[in-house]
Amino acid sequence: MNTLAHGEASSYRSFLESGDRKGILAWILSTDHKRIGILYLACMVSLFFVAVIIGVLMRIEQLSTSHHIFPPAIYNAFFTVHGVIMIFMFVLPGASAVFGNFFLPIMIGARDVSFPRLNLMSWYFFIVGALVVIASLFTGDGPPDAGWTFYVPFSLRTGTNIPLGVFGVFLLGFSSILTGINFITTVHRMRAPGMTWHHMPLFVWATYATAWVQVLATPIIGVTLLLVIAERIFGIGVFDPAKGGDPVLYQHLFWIYSHPAVYIMILPAMGAITEVIPTFAHRTIFGYRAIAYSSIGIAGLGSLVWGHHMFTSGMGNAANLMFSLFTFLVAVPSAIKVFNWTATLYKGSIEVKPPMLFALTFVFLFSIGGLTGLIQGALNVNVHLHDTYWIVGHFHYVMFGGTGMGFFAALLHWFPKMFGKMYNERVAAISWFPIFIGFNMLYGGMLVLGYLGMPRRYYTHLPQYSTGHLIASIGGFIMAIGLVLFFANLVVALFKGKKAESNPWGGVTLEWHTPSPPPLENFEEIPVIKDRPYIFNPETAQ
């Protein structure tokens, strides 16, 4: 990108050194998009580890069929809380709230988002929502146990503290909507001169498409959750079969949001991968427009496939057929991205540094996740696979193998820029091994278990599944070790890391033209963009 050469400014104050306030107030009262991004990062990584620990406890419970460490009710609470934290507090807002906040304004040459104060308010909604969900575990009549989907009529009949937990999720949704509004407006209004739509980096495109889904889909879950609360407190009867309500309608409303939400989760991670791959292949992205428009295509088509979660709910053959068809269609834009990433690598000068390692892992694991998705998208097979460990394996391949690995790749890619510190690349690469091997043992094992008929959400299993569960559990423990190593390396780097250069990877998008970490207002002068992004070799590119 031909911009003003910024270079390493001799004397500048980074955003970490700027501001009037000291200590924690400098963070929780700051409207700087970069600080807000880091606030999200700190909260999310903490919550992520809480959910990881719960996941490990579930794997411990599944080690044996005769000795039960946790009673069934606690196990039910485990998978509910694990799901709620992972989905609503890490995977869903993750890449968008952290890296979107930090890098979206910089990548379009802006000083901040359109509504900085609203941005901070979104974070408060997030943190209050998270605290309310956590409070629901310790108050009322026991922690929520209905699964992260809160299906009626069980969520109405169970005596546990569903209303408070659901209200926390409602607040998290509000945070997501406000962030979405902010990002859409920012992309429309704050682009630097010359930053036309087709000059925007692809991470911006992906975050932009995500923001639209956040704005258009989240209100539906908002009202649905409010109705569940009203149902529990007042008994309005809308979802209660005893009063003529239809529980399947709840499923429709839930998935009208929650399927597009899957794309809220994956799109920003795909965007991040699209930044990492050309940077480490030192080659311009292949099929810029195809990748950009496929983000929009995913956002659009992804809104029409929610019924594939409900093939066995009895909603009717015509609906089943249509939803199955659209499910196959939505695979097309995702595949377009995978092909374009692969084509970008072709004849590139590939350097497999840690960010690239995780980016390539994303492509591999996400492809498995996507292909298993097609298998269960077929109506007849779905009847067999519905509500089994296959489904659990599939969505972990997509959510963790996709979004999670994308998040890790993005974190390794942008960590030097965000904090101005360099982590130990060797340790980062070493941590990849346990993560990758453990991951495939755990979730690959789940795919096999599910195919053999192991139902999901059971606190124990029949003896014939013991070997599979043992392999999965061991994989889970190995992966947990890798995750600890991965994050410990970054925490050490925060305090003891070498100073990072402004452009350690040879990236070309705008964020690499600022010093590391960037100054408070990102740019001394707003850059003027003259060309498309990802031009690594200006002489040959012309």
Partner 1 sequence: MSTAPAHAHPVHKDYQGAKFGMWLFLFTEILLFGGLFLLYSIYRSMYPIDFHNGGKHLNVIIGVANTVILLTSSLTVAVAITAIQKGNKKLTLACLGVTIVFALMFLANKYIEWSAEIRHGIYPNGPELLKMPNGEKIFYGLYYSMTGLHGLHVLAGIIALLITLDFVRRDKITGTDFNKLENVGLYWHLVDVIWIFLLPLLYLAA
Among 3, 175, 179, 182, binds partner 1 (CB under 8 A): 182
Among 14, 185, 342, 367, binds partner 1 (CB under 8 A): 185
Q: CB under 8 A: which stretch of 87-95, 129-137, 218-226, 376-384 binds partner 1?
A: 218-226
Query: Does residue 244 interact with partner 1 by CB under 8 A?
Result: yes
Among 58, 73, 181, 322, binds partner 1 (CB under 8 A): 181
Among 1, 220, 298, 490, binds partner 1 (CB under 8 A): 220
User: How far apart are the C-alpha atoms of 261 and 88, rounded to whole Å?
Assistant: 10
Residue given tokens 């000083």 in the structure block? 111
Cis peptide before 153 (omega within 30 of 0): yes
Query: Does residue 26 interact with partner 1 by CB under 8 A?
Result: no
Residues 6+ positions from 101 with CB-CB distance below 8 Å: 33, 34, 36, 37, 40, 113, 119, 179
Burial, 296: exposed, middle or buried (Cβ in 10 Å; 0-12, 13-18, 19+)?
middle
Q: Are 205 and 298 in contact (CB under 8 A)?
A: no
Among 118, 343, 350, 429, binds partner 1 (CB under 8 A): 118
Number of residues that bind partner 1 (CB under 8 A): 41
Query: Does residue 379 interact with partner 1 by CB under 8 A?
Result: no
Query: Does residue 58 interact with partner 1 by CB under 8 A?
Result: no
Residues 6+ positions from 31 with CB-CB distance below 8 Å: 112, 116, 117, 119, 120
Q: The tokens of 504 are what?
A: 């350690």
Among the listed residues 391, 429, 426, 414, the one whose alpha carbon sits nearest the alpha carbon of residue 504: 414
Cβ atoms within 10 A of the Cβ of 525, count? 9
Binding mask 482-501 for partner 1 (x = CB under 8 A): --------------------
Cβ atoms within 10 A of the Cβ of 261, count? 25
Helix, strand, coil percent values for the chain (each to nearest 5): 70, 0, 30
Q: Which is nearer to partner 1, 30 or 340 (CB)?
A: 30
Query: Does residue 253 interact with partner 1 by CB under 8 A?
Result: yes
Q: CB under 8 A: which stretch of 225-233, 265-273, 298-306, 481-489 binds partner 1?
A: 225-233
Q: CB under 8 A: which stretch of 174-182, 301-309, 355-363, 367-375 binds partner 1?
A: 174-182
Query: Does residue 322 interact with partner 1 by CB under 8 A?
Result: no
Q: Both ends of the chain: CA-CA distance in Å?
A: 12
Q: Which is nearer to partner 1, 138 or 234 (CB)?
A: 234
CB of 178 to partner 1, least distance (A): 8
Q: What is the DSSP string of 133-155?
A: HHHHHHSSSSS--STTTT-TTHH
Query: Does residue 67 interact with partner 1 by CB under 8 A?
Result: no
CB of 217 to partner 1, least distance (A): 8
CB of 142 to partner 1, least distance (A): 23
Q: Are 401 and 366 in contact (CB under 8 A)?
A: yes
Residues 6+ positions from 144 with CB-CB distance below 8 Å: 77, 80, 81, 84, 136, 137, 150, 160, 161, 162, 165, 166
Query: Does residue 227 interact with partner 1 by CB under 8 A?
Result: yes
Q: Which is nearer to partner 1, 169 or 365 (CB)?
A: 169
Query: Does residue 236 interact with partner 1 by CB under 8 A?
Result: yes
Query: Does residue 297 interact with partner 1 by CB under 8 A?
Result: no
CA atoms within 13 A on the CB side of 17: 9
The alpha carbons of the chain give a radius of gyration, in whole angstroms, of 23
Among 2, 12, 14, 31, binds partner 1 (CB under 8 A): 31
Among 106, 177, 363, 392, binds partner 1 (CB under 8 A): 177
Q: The tokens of 450 are what?
A: 């599910």
Q: Which is nearer to partner 1, 257 or 534 (CB)?
A: 257
CB of 276 to partner 1, least distance (A): 30
Query: Does residue 190 interact with partner 1 by CB under 8 A?
Result: yes
Q: Which is nearer to partner 1, 238 or 485 (CB)?
A: 238
Q: Site residues for partner 1, window 428-447 (CB under 8 A)?
A: none
Burial, 25: exposed, middle or buried (Cβ in 10 Å; 0-12, 13-18, 19+)?
exposed
H-helix or E-strand spanning residue 421: strand 421-422
User: How far apart are the C-alpha atoms of 476 and 433, rounded to whole Å?
Assistant: 13
Query: Does residue 316 interact with partner 1 by CB under 8 A?
Result: no
Query: Does residue 521 interact with partner 1 by CB under 8 A?
Result: yes
Among 44, 88, 106, 112, binds partner 1 (CB under 8 A): 112
Query: Does residue 307 interact with partner 1 by CB under 8 A?
Result: no
Q: Which is nearer to partner 1, 236 or 470 (CB)?
A: 236
Q: What is the dihedral of CA 287, 333, 180, 535, to 10 degrees?
A: -10
Among 27, 50, 70, 111, binds partner 1 (CB under 8 A): 111
Q: Which is nearer to partner 1, 260 or 278 (CB)?
A: 260
Among 45, 128, 249, 535, binds partner 1 (CB under 8 A): 249
Query: Does residue 520 interact with partner 1 by CB under 8 A?
Result: yes
Query: Does residue 229 interact with partner 1 by CB under 8 A?
Result: no
User: Which runs of consecutive H residues, i.e. helices, occur in 23-71?
Assistant: 25-28, 33-61
Q: CB under 8 A: which stretch of 222-230, 266-274, 366-374, 442-450 binds partner 1?
A: 222-230
CB of 237 to partner 1, least distance (A): 4
User: Which runs of consecutive H residues, i.e. helices, occur in 420-459?
Assistant: 425-439, 445-452
For binding to partner 1 (CB under 8 A), which residues are involved?
31, 111-112, 114-118, 177, 180-182, 184-185, 188-190, 215-216, 218-220, 222-224, 226-227, 230, 234-238, 243-246, 249, 253, 520-521
